[in-house]
Structure 1
Amino acid sequence: MTDTSNAPGRSPARAVGALLAMAVGAFCFVAMETLPVGLLPLIAGEFQVSLPNAGLLVTGYGLTVAIMSVPLAYATGRVPRRLLLSVLLGVFVVATLASAAAASFTVLLAARVAVALSQSVFWAIVGPAAASLFSVEVRGRAAATVFSGSALAPMLGVPAGTWLGQQAGWRAAFFGLAAVGLLAFVLVATLMPTSPVGQGHAASGTAPSTRRYLLLVALTILVIAGMFACFTYTTPFITDVAGIPAAGVSLVLLLRGVVDLVGVILGGMLVDRRPHLVMIGSVALTLVSLLGLWAFGPSPAATIAMLAVSGFALGAMSPALTSRVLEVAPGNSDLASAGNSAAFNLGIAGGSAVGGLALGLSGLRATALVGGLLVVASLVLAVVDPALARADRRRESDPAPAPAAALTADTR
């Protein structure tokens, strides 16, 4: 992807390099957010906390991003993007090292909150920043490139972190991730071009619509909450429900990550042309995967297959959500992106909490059923959105009503 026609004077090679640098940053943040998923039993064991309490490492992280995304995006709205992204990744490195060295569960949780604060801003600006490097016709593919980094996190980061944690202790996984974060910091500081803030097609929505944006926010909360009600407890689900040995968890997560990346690639290829198809299809596949886990969880083959389906769905959904924000943002696209990032992480936090409650009351399989019920509601919203888009287009194409005075003919 080298189309920089909307960015006169910008080197195509540097634009692509900056895009790849942001993808590495996306890898780091998603890996950090989801790394405890594969390490929960180890962390819970060392600090002598229950699995639901250890799940606070995911819930607290997501809740922090949900609460702070919009305020921090507003506060940093005028900071040049290269400087801001560099600072965010610097915070990531320091806080990840603090996580690895944590002497107590409380310190570990606090260090993750610090990373979550930097992620609050990162996800608010990275979509518009990536889109601004290229023309509007390929912004879906630009977003998909960034999200390929986030897809590689569950494909490589979580399985590798899980394996490393099992071999050398969970702290080793955090040290390794800090090293990757340092690489991302260097790449962004070197390759990200300096450009004025708030200019270009990505600065605002191409088809602004407050009601469609609010619908998107609600859809995001529900579908992500449904997914993470189950996904937060994937490792114990794999071992205790499906009966797969602990040594096989990393391979299962690796497969899910591979399919996630395939979903990002295919979703990115289609989203600029068939945005509604990608959105509805990805939500529907999420529902299929969760209900499949609930119904057939004791079958190892079914569990592996359904986790793969959920990975594909999440991968395809990521560029679709970013593309939709850049379309319907009712005002500044950074703030709109921050709002949807907050919704995404509110879904993670809420889903993790609901999943923990379901786990405590009815066991691990119940997490998939509760998640599926939440996704049903999000699927309804995904189906409603195209009708709202058509209504908006009809309203724009209808001629403005004539002034009342002109409607009265003089018949004298």
Structure 2
Amino acid sequence: MPLALWALTLSAFAIGTTEFVIVGLIPIIADDLGVSLPSAGLLVSLYAVGVAIGAPVLTAVTGRWKRKTVLTSLMALFVIGNIVAWQAPSYETLIAARVLTGLAHGVFFSIGSMMATSLVSKEKQASAIAIMFTGLTVALVTGVPLGTWVGQVFGWRSTFLMVSLLGLIALIGSAILVPNTLDQVIPTKVKDQLQVLLKPRLLLAYTMTILGYGGTFTAFTFLAPILQQHAGFAASYVGFIMLGYGVSVAVGNVWGGKLADKYGPIKALKVLFLGLSITLLALTFTMNSPLLVVITVLVWGAFAFGNVPGLQLHVVKIAEQDTPKAIDVAVGLNISAFNIGIALGSVVGGHVVETLTLQDTAWIGAIICSAALAATCLAGHLDKQRIC
């Protein structure tokens, strides 16, 4: 595999770290900036809004640019956003920095897969994409717990400095290693893009994604305060638990992919959403026990991200039938749907914390995931009708 591919992988690692590391730092940021936990939770949701907006809008704006120019511009924006976060004098500045960084994230994963395939021969394209996305998985396993530990020991600002340095290394690597001769992608016609939003089965698929991730992030956004305030863990232990969660995510992602390959995306998603709903409901009762909450969090990680392969495969299968000229747009909108779910889940979770309690985020998240299960059952019914 070419060295340029590893530059993309490092970029994915840095971006994945900055997206999720905030979850472990919410209590520290809330205390330092003098804001409430729900307000600190907006740092998760507004980042996701930046991703959701950035993916379709900036991808369209940069559609005729050279791929390398887009990549280096994105990583420069990413570095600037994290430097602003490092030096943020106020909560409002930190919010602006998170949105700015989210814009870069959205476009990177829209074009990253296409760039990875352009770097290798046709028979190695799937492996190239897998290697690039390994950066995101490794970020959950190592980058997020490491960043959480750095924030706990040296202050939350140090975490953003660390991520900006990672982004700078990835930027330099991309500038040196990525060739200028990458295939230029012909932008999809606006007419074909709009067709995606007029297909009921695709809209239902996006609803499944939004509800599934909305339910997870209703509670996950406030995992650190749950572990500290309910389970009684010291702040220094949160990073280690996040490490376990990341390992569980990596295992769940592989398991979810195999499940979707063997039984089809709909059957796999039914199992995963049912397991996710039960796990979140269980969290309501286990979060007061240090041992049981750790077990629940590990199971939760496997179910929470194990649905990614099934959701993506489901969208691809529908797009191949309903919008064959805009499959990339359909898949890109599902990336936006993931982040809309994260944003809405964080907002709902913040409202629950404000009006009810931290404990209530778990069972309410379970209800939202049950709605994702219901939407999946409806999608399966519609697929059967279409086959008949």
Q: How many angstroms does 1:148 deviate by? A: 2.9
1:317-358 deviations in Å (ceiling 9; x for gaps)? 233333333333324233223321221111111111110111
Name the amino acid aligned to 1:231. F
Moved more, 65-74 or 34-43: 65-74
1:20-50 deviations in Å (ceiling 9; x for gaps)? 4433322222221222211112211221111
Residues 1:254 and 2:248 are matched in the alignment: no
Query: Quick one: which of 370, 375, 385 aligns to 1:376?
Result: 370
Counterpart Cα distance in 1 of 2:308 and 2:72: 23
Q: Tell me if structure 1 keeps the 8 A contact 2:152–2:235.
A: no
Residues 1:305 and 2:295 are matched in the alignment: yes
SS of the residue corresponding to residue 364 of structure 1 reads coil
Name the amino acid aligned to 2:376. A
1:182 is matched with 168
Query: Quick one: which of 256, 260, 270 aligns to 1:280?
Result: 270
1:50-99 deviations in Å (ceiling 9; x for gaps)? 11111121121112223343222222233333332222112111211121
Q: Tell me if structure 2 keeps the 8 A contact 1:62–1:348.
A: yes
Q: Tell me if structure 1 keeps the 8 A contact 2:54–2:104.
A: no
Counterpart Cα distance in 1 of 2:313 and 2:128: 10
Counterpart Cα distance in 1 of 2:385 and 2:148: 48
2:226 is matched with 237
1:90 is matched with 76
| Unmatched runs of 5 consecutive residues or more in structure 1 | 1-12, 395-412
Name the amino acid aligned to 2:94. L
Counterpart Cα distance in 1 of 2:186 and 2:383: 26
Residues 70 and 179 (structure 1 numbering): CA distance in 2 closer, same or farther, change over 3 Å? same
Q: Which has the higher helix share?
A: 2
Counterpart Cα distance in 1 of 2:264 and 2:219: 27
Aligned residues: 375
Name the amino acid aligned to 1:370. I
1:58 is matched with 44
Report the TM-score, using the length of structure 1 for normalisation. 0.82
Q: Tell me if structure 2 keeps the 8 A contact 1:151–1:315.
A: no
Residues 1:266 and 2:252 are matched in the alignment: no
Residues 1:49 and 2:35 are matched in the alignment: yes
Report the TM-score, using the length of structure 2 for normalisation. 0.86
1:222 is matched with 211
2:53 is matched with 67
Q: How many angstroms does 1:213 deviate by? A: 1.7
Name the amino acid aligned to 1:158. V
Query: Quick one: which of 194, 201, 212 aligns to 2:201?
Result: 212
Residues 1:289 and 2:279 are matched in the alignment: yes
TM alignment of 1:261-410, pairs within 5 A:
261-269=250-258, 271-276=260-265, 277-329=267-319, 330=323, 331-394=325-388
TM alignment of 1:100-179, pairs within 5 A:
100-130=86-116, 144-179=130-165
Q: Tell me if structure 2 keeps the 8 A contact 1:143–1:268.
A: no
Counterpart Cα distance in 1 of 2:216 and 2:94: 25
| Unmatched runs of 5 consecutive residues or more in structure 2 | none
Counterpart Cα distance in 1 of 2:124 and 2:55: 26
Provide the identity percentage. Answer: 34
1:7 is matched with none
Residues 100 and 133 (structure 1 numbering): CA distance in 2 closer, same or farther, change over 3 Å? same
SS of the residue corresponding to residue 21 of structure 2 reads helix
Residues 291 and 132 (structure 1 numbering): CA distance in 2 closer, same or farther, change over 3 Å? farther
Name the amino acid aligned to 1:314. A
Counterpart Cα distance in 1 of 2:128 and 2:274: 24
Counterpart Cα distance in 2 of 1:275 and 1:130: 26
Q: How many angstroms does 1:266 deviate by? A: 3.2
Residues 317 and 128 (structure 1 numbering): CA distance in 2 closer, same or farther, change over 3 Å? farther
1:401 is matched with none
Q: Tell me if structure 2 keeps the 8 A contact 1:279–1:320.
A: yes
TM alignment of 1:6-21, pairs within 5 A:
13-14=1-2, 17-21=3-7
Q: How many angstroms does 1:100 deviate by? A: 0.6
1:353-402 deviations in Å (ceiling 9; x for gaps)? 110111122211101111111100111222333443344444xxxxxxxx
Q: How many angstroms does 1:230 deviate by? A: 0.4
Residues 92 and 105 (structure 1 numbering): CA distance in 2 closer, same or farther, change over 3 Å? same
* Aligned alpha-carbon RMSD (Å): 2.9
Residues 321 and 104 (structure 1 numbering): CA distance in 2 closer, same or farther, change over 3 Å? same
